[in-house]
Amino acid sequence: MADNITVKDAAAANVVVASKDVASVQFPKHIIYDSAGVEVPLSVGLGAVTEAAPASDTASSGLNGRLQRIAQRLTSLIALIPTALGQGTMAQSLRVVLPSDQSALSTVGPSAHDAAISGAPNRTAGRALTANYTAVATGDTADFVSTLVGAQIVKPFSIPEADWSYAAAASGIANTTTAVTIKAAAAAGLRNYITGIDLATDGALGAATEVAIRDGAGGTVIWRMKIGTAGMQAGRAITFPTPIKGTAATLLEVVTLTASVTGAVYFNATGYIAP
């Protein structure tokens, strides 16, 4: 059987239809036109088998070139997928990040009041310490502090373990200008602070004197008070809202700058250690 066949149209007129005879079976022929309406060979419409992929996803190309471009993009996508599933390192995992315009996320809070604690709810806790932690830099976050049984420490200046106190000797400071150490030097980087003192005499003094607190042995006077010959039998308690601060790693001492001749001065102090 030859190529092309003749058929009747609706008006019974003969019409030749382009076809290809293959083993006595007629296959219709398809004609391909370009965008300008010009007939082109099938190989041109489909693209050569060796046609290169277009430079971009939207650049013009034949069908073969377009298929190559799709294959390239699929290969690139597959390369981004981890070679093995399951837990792996960050470099072996798909990136999971929140979008820049993510709405606020809610978290699971603690159990309700008087309900048994279960799961792993978000909870507020302090840092249990028996000594001050190293001072943080200004502007840094600092932990709240608690005792070892979780009782929150709410007191000025320091934790209880950093407090110190000095009690006067049984005979007080009597007729001498020799200084008495009230607090030994703290460790490197730590200072001694005084939050309060008690001052009294056991009666009248043979001579008026000045009581002074010095920063270091024979060092700078950082507090002083004068006691007249009438003495201070009723005593006086002094609290420092802003604690007196010594130099780091330096002792504190008390001294009567003038010997009292008769009578004794009694001096007690409390404070703490901190940076």
Q: How many residues are recorded in the chain?
A: 275
What are the residues whose beta carbons fall under 8 Å from the beta carbon of 134, sequence distance 6 or more?
none
Placement of tokens 């106190």 in the chain: 165
Amino acid at 204: A
Q: Which one, of 211, 220, 224, 223, lies nearest residue 247 by Cα?
A: 220
| pLDDT score recorded for residue 231 | 95
Closest CA to 51 of 60, 67, 64, 34: 64
Give the amino acid at 125.
Answer: A
Distance CA 189, CA 44 (A): 85
Residue 113 banded pLDDT, cuts 50, 70, 90:
confident
Residue 192 pLDDT exceeds 90: yes
Any idea which of 137-146, 210-219, 247-256 has the lowest mean pLDDT?
137-146
Q: Across all residues in the chain, what is the average pLDDT?
A: 88
Task: Specify the pLDDT at position 45.
Answer: 67
Is the predicted pLDDT of residue 121 greater than 80, yes or no?
A: no
Which tokens in the block code for residue 183? 């607090």
pLDDT at position 1? 63
Q: Is 21 helix (H, G, I), strand (E, B) or coil?
A: strand
Question: What's the mean pLDDT in 167-192?
Answer: 96
Cα distance between residue 213 and residue 270, in whole Å = 13
Percent of the chain exceeding pLDDT 90 equals 44
Query: pLDDT tens for residues 131-174?
Result: 888 888 888 988 888 888 888 888 888 888 899 999 999 999 99
Instruction: Quote the CA–CA distance of 47 and 52 in Å, as a whole number.
Output: 9
